[in-house]
Amino acid sequence: MEVRQHLSQLDLFKGLTAEQLEAITGTVTEKDYRKGELIFAEGDEGVGFYLVIRGRVKVYKLSAEGKEQIMHIFGPRMPFAEVPVFAGSRYPANAEAMESSRLFFFPKKSFITLIQENPLLAMNMLASLSQRLKQFSNLIETLSLKEVPGRLASYLLYLSDKNGSIDEFKLDIAKSQLASLLGTIPETLSRIFAKMGAREIVSIKGPEITILDREGLEDLAEGNTKL
């Protein structure tokens, strides 16, 4: 698919005219990354933002001891690393390709010119950043106010909702990554999955999850019951 065709399908560019899309297309660079390849490191100069075309990218922070906290996982059609385009000048976290990925890169300077000439693009970007703020609020709530079983229950409900409230779906990341996202270690996560299975709240076969007791899962997520 051509760059412009990709752009026309994205929320960030919805409502733009063909001419406006053409102008944006002219600024884009395509970049390919191998699985595990670093896209940028925290503190690097923020030269622009990215959009995932194919693959998946994790944005994460590292502690002094090397412990990783995933902030967000970005899949196809999702922009990331916009912060240094509008505030400050450095990337506030690290980004790494979780699998072989193709990204579009939007250089800061030309994007700022485009957005200043284009109120609809500015509104779309405001919506995108606000959405991210909402997700970060939820992550802060999850990390700070919920026990690990509640965090896992919330995440499973989130995955179910994302796929149209279905009861059977696949985990979209490896269990070790999921542990990091939920601020815990793989061993603890395995124990909680086992308990959820024994209580017949969910059944787990490899990456395949089936919700057996949605109400029970919601009670866990809301902290009304404990495992």
If one asks whether residue 152 binds a copy of itself (CB under 8 A), the answer comes out as: no
Neighbours of 116 (CB within 10 A): 10
From residue 184 to residue 223, the character string flagging contacts with a copy of itself as x (rule: CB under 8 A) and all else as - is: --------------------------------------xx
Query: Which residue in 93, 148, 157, 178 binds a copy of itself (CB under 8 A)?
Result: 93
Of the two residues 131 and 210, which places its CB atom closer to a copy of itself in the complex?
131
Does position 62 bind a copy of itself by CB under 8 A? yes
Residue among 29, 44, 8 at smallest CA distance from 111 = 29
Judged by CB, which is closer to a copy of itself: 145, or 174? 145
Residue 5 binds a copy of itself, judged by CB under 8 A = no
The three-point CA angle 172-174-177 to 5° equals 105
Near a copy of itself by CB under 8 A, which window of 58-66, 96-104, 158-166, 169-177? 58-66
Which residues have CB under 8 Å from 209's CB, separation 6+? Answer: 156, 159, 168, 169, 170, 171, 202, 203
Question: In the numeric block, which tokens belong to residue 193?
Answer: 């999955």
Return the exposure string of 182-211: e unless at least 16 CB atoms fall within 10 Å of the residue's CB, then b.
bbbeeeebeebbeebeeeebbebeeeebeb
Determine, following the binding rule CB under 8 A, whether residue 77 of this chain makes contact with a copy of itself.
no
Question: Binding segment for a copy of itself among 12-20, 137-145, 165-173, 196-204 (CB under 8 A)?
Answer: 137-145
Binding flag, residue 15, a copy of itself (CB under 8 A) = no
Q: Is 174 near a copy of itself (CB under 8 A)?
A: no
Q: Give me 91's structure tokens.
A: 């990337």
- Of 63, 164, 187, 215, the residue at the interface with a copy of itself (CB under 8 A) is 63
By CB under 8 A, is residue 96 in contact with a copy of itself? no
Q: What 3-state class would DSSP assign to 163? A: coil
In the bound state with a copy of itself, the residue whose beta carbon lies nearer, of 93 and 202, is 93
Least Cβ distance, residue 142 to a copy of itself (angstroms): 10
Q: How far is the CB of 97 from a copy of itself (least distance, A)?
A: 20
Give CA–CA dist 214/202, Å, rounded: 8
Helices (H), the chain: 3-8, 18-25, 83-86, 108-116, 119-145, 148-162, 175-181, 186-198, 214-221
Residues that bind a copy of itself (CB under 8 A): 61-65, 67, 69, 71, 82-88, 92-93, 112, 115-120, 122-123, 125-134, 136-141, 143-146, 183, 222-224
